[in-house]
């Protein structure tokens, strides 16, 4: 489980960095989204990879990560997903307006002809 999750984080992060370095604005937007997914998975994995564990401490059970799942990373990832979606939507609107004004979707505004 840990190997699959770490591979997924690595592939998403590497693909995100590669797309951020591309010359087109839409590719940059997709790259930023992939990098945010990688960071969200990383934060989620920090809370411990437990299956069928409750995030609430029960009486009589020791409060350690062997008996429950930490709810803080789950809350942080949920908040990051909502903020990331809103930021991506705003960035997409700005990119569409920029494309309409400059007739180019190149990052620095200059295309090689």
Domain boundaries, the chain: 2-49+65-102
User: What residues of the chain score a pLDDT lower than 50?
Assistant: none
pLDDT digits (tens, 9 = 90+) for 67-96: 777 778 888 999 999 999 999 999 999 988
Averaged confidence pLDDT in the chain: 86
Residue with tokens 């190997």: 3
The CATH number fitting domain 2-49+65-102, selected from 1.20.272, 1.10.1740, 1.10.287, 2.40.50? 1.10.287
User: Is the separation of the CB atoms in 99 and 107 below 8 Å?
Assistant: no
The alpha carbon dihedral of 75, 76, 81, 82 has a sign of: positive
Return d(Cα 37, Cα 2) in angstroms, integer. 17
Asked whether 61 and 77 are in contact (CB, 8 A), the reply is no
| Rounded CA separation 26/48 (Å) | 34
Distance CA 98, CA 72 (A): 38
pLDDT of residue 103: 83
């Amino acid at each position: 489980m840990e190997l699959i999750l770490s591979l997924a984080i690595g592939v998403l992060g590497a693909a995100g960095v590669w797309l951020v370095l591309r010359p087109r604005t839409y590719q940059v937007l997709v790259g930023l989204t992939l990098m945010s997914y990688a960071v969200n998975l990383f934060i989620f994995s920090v809370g411990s990879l437990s299956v069928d564990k409750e995030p609430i401490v029960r009486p009589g059970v020791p409060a350690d990560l062997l008996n429950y799942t930490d709810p803080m990373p789950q809350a942080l990832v949920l908040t990051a997903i909502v903020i990331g979606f809103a930021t991506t939507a705003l960035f997409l609107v700005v990119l569409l307006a920029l494309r309409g004004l400059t007739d180019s979707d190149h990052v620095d505004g200059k295309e090689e002809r």
